Structure 1
Amino acid sequence: SVNGYFLSQIRFKHSDIVFLFLSFGIFIPYHAIAIPLIMVTSRLGVYNSLLGMTLVHTAYGIPICTLFFRSFLDEIPQSLIDAARVDGADETTIYARVVLPISWPAFVVTAVFQFTSIWNDFLFGLILTKGANQPASVVLANLLGTTAAEWNTQMAGTFLYAFPVMLFYFLLGKYLIRGYLAGALKA
């Protein structure tokens, strides 16, 4: 959200170019960086670890999260920000006391998008982990890829895999709809 606020409200020379460069990360296919990613995580000593997966998903999440927040924060009335500046608030205070309290719809949409993307990720889990450290998506694919079709085991595994996502959507459903509407409707 800090990136989105910075690129939305604090204009500087070439800020649009910085945003475009940052947004370019959204369009880099996972497959294009698979081998360099394995090499980097191995050199850092985080290959086949939760920390390695966390770092990779964080790095890949920054561009899309920045896009979500910048798009949302561009719709905040400038008069609200200007009023805080007139009252003597600095940028940190404006962000913490004005922008953050009204940004919950963007946080919910971003959290749901990121959770779903990370939970459904297969490629990073396949190439960056092995054995007991593999995520549920890879384990489920391995379970479904066995030669003997044990449908009861496969269906139980599929249900257990889908349950956290269903629970997440159930708990945040009404906030997610509000978040979508906040980004779609003008005040």
Structure 2
Amino acid sequence: KKSNPCPICNNITGHCKYSPLNEIILCHNFDIDVSGYKFVKKTRGGHWGVFVPERDYKATLDPETVLLRAERELERKRLQEQKQAVSLSDSERHIEHTKLIDQLSLNFGDESDLKRRGLTDEQIKKGGFVSVKQWQKLREYVNPNLAGVNVSGKGLTNFHDGLLCFAKNPKGEITGYQIRVSDRTVNSKYV
């Protein structure tokens, strides 16, 4: 990026990588000597050169440890980018959450609990509260890229029975939910 050029080659395209956690720089240029940085070696695929600050290299880091950390960081970023590529937009999540709500209902115990907490019938309906059973099955397909939906799109991955409490963005779109767990022996009230 223009505001953060690569400290090795000064490239501003964002193709070089930097891990602030362990100060490893992965640069596409390996033929460069840069004051303050030590070239360790190429990554396994040979796409990047691994560089570390000279002080770290001299202190304790051996080249294999540095390389292993760099490769783990690259893999973590690759998986994160892959996950983001298939993630649903807010509008798409709203559509899928609406499909989910339409297939579920609110059981008597959860409804009574909401009323005991002071919610009116109108607030309960507007909130879209519904109950789920462990490993809730669904009649209609819901996109498996929606968090909490299993790979078949015909069930949920929830470990506990509970009440779905939805979160909305400023546009009123449902973007996510938590489950208020029915089992009071579970450590966390919400998952």
Give the TM-score taking structure 2 as reference length.
0.27
Which structure's CA Rg is the greater one? 2
TM-score by length of 1: 0.27
Query: Whose RCO is larger (CA < 8 A, sep 6+)?
Result: 1
Richer in helix (by share):
1
